[in-house]
Structure 1
Amino acid sequence: MDLAIEDVARAKRGIRLTVIAAVPLLFLLSGLAIRYGAFASVSPATSLTAYVRAFCKWDCTWYVDISEQGYERFPIPGHTNIGRWGFFPLYPMLVAAVRSILPVPTILIATAISLACGYVSCLTAWPLMDKNMRAYVLYCAFLLSGPFSFYFATFLTEPLFVLLTSCLFLALKRSNYLAAGLSCALLSATRPVGVFAVLAIVMRMFEEHRAKGGSASAFPRRLLGRPDLIIAILISPAGVFAFMFFLHVTLGDGFAFAHVQRAFGRVGGSPLLFLWDGLSYHPASGWLPSAPQWSALTAIGGLALTGVLAARRQYGAALFCAIALILPLTSNLASMVRYVVGLAPLTMLAAVLLSASKPTFAVALIVFLTTCYFMTLAWLGGYLALV
């Protein structure tokens, strides 16, 4: 009898694992089909190579150059006076490593890796959303077949950033601080804001300390008594420190990634002022918001979701997301849509909120799949808010 019960339980677990793996695969394939349909409707060339290259816009071209040529030493006659140093190296290095094995064009390799990262990110999200199937389906749909799924289907850092962020918070959920520190190190080599995930690690350590009855004043002593926690904290910024060391050796400026931002039009200022300017930038005609208004509204929406995270006592995720949004807002509104979409805690929370009832779940799923086509057309057309 007991053996029969165990067999039934094992069979149910097998079915559940199959479903968990099949859901993101289904949306990965549907996303490819929808985006290809949008591409084919505006492009005379319908080959796979043309399809993949059409999605490589804006920052994608910089990452292709870094992967193929590395970081230049300034100045180089005949090249742009804007260096590639503002783009962090981990993802281009990963693509270059695969290209050294497979004789395939860079953009094809990068696209395949991005899609794979998106798929694995969905699998990693399953335990993070407490095995909520409706939320899981919505999250997979949003990431792989949703209105911004093109970010996860080309050579941008969002796919790797979301995957590493998910791995970090899953490690924290399981109190595996060394794995969290390693994930943070890789995050800090992917995008500059990734280094601030170390604050989420420290906050989780503090929460665990308090849950065990420890006082706030005793927390530093607990850290000093746990070498594994100290190591986790110390390795967290390793990625950005390694990049800074490389820039110092090759350029003489370890902060070149920050100094070059001025060449991209990013000048320091008040986040509130940039938000107000964006909201005040009315369209020349029509009723649809302008690109700056879309960026400002998205930033406000992201900050609102960050507040919800804090209200739900997910303080580490809330702090990380707040810094990851406010820091770029100190320069301008550029890429705010992409930055919000690339914050896994926010998109997971949105999926959970939208899945609270069957009607909202169904409506959200339909909207995600429908808008994928039209937002892909906007991306292919170079709509500025999506940069």
Structure 2
Amino acid sequence: MALEAVARPNAGRRFVAVAVVTVPLAFVVSGLAIRYAAFASVSAEPGFAAYAQALCRWDCAWYVGISEHGYERFPIPGQSNVGRWGFFPLYPMLVAAIRSVFPFPTILVASITSIACSYAACLVAWPLLEKNMRAYVLYCAFLLSGPFSYHFTTFLTEPLFVLLTSCVFLALKRSSYLAAGLSSALLSATRLVGVLVVFATVIQMFRDYRAKGGPTLSFPRWLLGRPDLLVAIFISPAGLFAYVLFLHLTVGDGFAFLHVQRAFGRVAGNPLAFVWDGLSALPTTGRLPTAPQWSALAALIGLALSAVLAVRRQYGAALFCACCIILPLITNLASMVRYVVGLAPLTMLLAMLLSVSKLTYLAALGLFLSACYFMTVAWIGGYLALV
């Protein structure tokens, strides 16, 4: 009887472990099937290579160019002073390294790598979702078979950004600050807003300090007396600093990634004005919202979910997500839908909220899978709101 009592929990843990591994794998397969069906409905050219190329839209082409040719030392001739410097280097470098081992077309290597990163992000999310199986299924479905799954399965930074963001917050959950710092350094080399996650690290350090009874005003002095924590903080922006140094040595402008934004039509302005202008861009025909309206709504929904994180006392994640929305919003609404759905704490929160009841869980799962087809068609067709 004693042996049976021990065996049952072990068998249960093995079943859960198998489920955690196989659930995202199932959505990898279903997502590929749904998106390929969407691709086949609008293209006469068959094959996975043609499918991967069809999903390579908008910024994807820039990352392919960086992976194959690196960064230029001057604006690209014939493209109105546009350069590749606004796109951060870590993910193109990773794809280039894998392509050096497996000499296949860049977009094929990148697509498979993106799927692998998204799959790994699901595994990392399991403890962050408090081991809630319903929420885990919804999160995996959203990333790999959901309405925006093309963002996480083609050559964009979202797959690596979500994976590294999840690694940072898992490390913080376990108070592994050095691991959080290393993940943050990689995150800051993936996208500019990745450097902002260092604030979540400091907030978690403060919360751990207060949990041990430390007085608030003594926190800075206590922190200065912990070299291990200071190292974790100072290495967090290392990826960004390395890129700045590279641009300084090769281009002569360490902040070329900022200065080139004007060539892409991004000029600093009032974020509230941008949101209002987006909401005011009423459709001239039909009742469907316009692309600016979708972008403005995405920003507002993202900020609302960030507020919910704050209410749930996830202050670091709330601040990080809010900053990741507001910073690009200072320039305009471009890519706002992609930026919001690429914030792992927000999508995990959404999965948790939708998994509260069986009815909302099943409805959300069905909606994710069915919307995948239509949104993929819209993405391939170049719908501007999805840029």
**TM-score normalized with structure 2 length:** 0.99
Q: Distance in 2 between matches of 1:380 and 1:326?
A: 28
How many pairs does the alignment contain?
A: 387
Aligned partner of residue 382 in structure 2, secondary structure:
coil
Q: What is the aligned partner in structure 1 of residue 17 from structure 2?
A: 17
TM-superposed CA distance for 1:332, in Å, is: 0.2
| 1:112-261 paired onto structure 2 within 5 Å | 112-261=112-261
Aligned partner of residue 54 in structure 1, secondary structure:
helix
Deviation string 1:77-111 (CA, Å, 9 cap, x unpaired) is 45663000000000000000011111111111100
Q: What is the aligned partner in structure 2 of residue 8 from structure 1?
A: 8
Rate the CA distance shift 1:365–1:280 in 2: closer, same or farther, 3 A.
Answer: same
Q: What is the aligned partner in structure 2 of residue 72 from structure 1?
A: 72
Aligned residues of 2:76 and 2:83 also touching (Cα < 8 A): no
| 1:193-342 paired onto structure 2 within 5 Å | 193-342=193-342
Q: What is the aligned partner in structure 2 of residue 102 from structure 1?
A: 102
Q: Distance in 2 between matches of 1:13 and 1:302?
A: 35
Q: Distance in 2 between matches of 1:365 and 1:115?
A: 20
Q: What is the aligned partner in structure 1 of residue 37 from structure 2?
A: 37
Q: What is the aligned partner in structure 2 of residue 58 from structure 1?
A: 58
Rate the CA distance shift 1:132–1:34 in 2: closer, same or farther, 3 A.
Answer: same
Q: Distance in 1 between matches of 2:383 and 2:354?
A: 27
TM-superposed CA distance for 1:293, in Å, is: 0.2
Calculate percent identity across the aligned residue pairs: 70
Aligned partner of residue 85 in structure 1, secondary structure:
helix
Q: Distance in 1 between matches of 2:265 and 2:325?
A: 18
Aligned partner of residue 332 in structure 2, secondary structure:
coil
TM-superposed CA distance for 1:12, in Å, is: 1.4
Gaps in structure 2 of 5+ consecutive residues? none
Aligned residues of 2:80 and 2:263 also touching (Cα < 8 A): no
Q: What is the aligned partner in structure 1 of residue 82 from structure 2?
A: 82
Deviation string 1:8-49 (CA, Å, 9 cap, x unpaired) is 222211111001111111111100000000000110001111
Rate the CA distance shift 1:378–1:108 in 2: closer, same or farther, 3 A.
Answer: same
Q: Distance in 1 between matches of 2:32 and 2:75?
A: 40
TM-superposed CA distance for 1:220, in Å, is: 1.3
Question: What amino acid is the match of 1:104?
Answer: F
Rate the CA distance shift 1:224–1:386 in 2: closer, same or farther, 3 A.
Answer: same
TM-superposed CA distance for 1:247, in Å, is: 0.4
Q: Are 2:360 and 1:360 equivalent residues in the alignment?
A: yes
Q: Distance in 2 between matches of 1:309 and 1:54?
A: 36
RMSD: 0.9
Deviation string 1:245-271 (CA, Å, 9 cap, x unpaired) is 000011111110000000000010011
Question: What amino acid is the match of 2:139?
Answer: Y
Gaps in structure 1 of 5+ consecutive residues? none
TM-superposed CA distance for 1:4, in Å, is: 3.0
Q: Distance in 2 between matches of 1:22 and 1:47?
A: 26
Q: Distance in 2 between matches of 1:378 and 1:271?
A: 27
Deviation string 1:151-201 (CA, Å, 9 cap, x unpaired) is 011000000000000000000000000000001000000000000000000
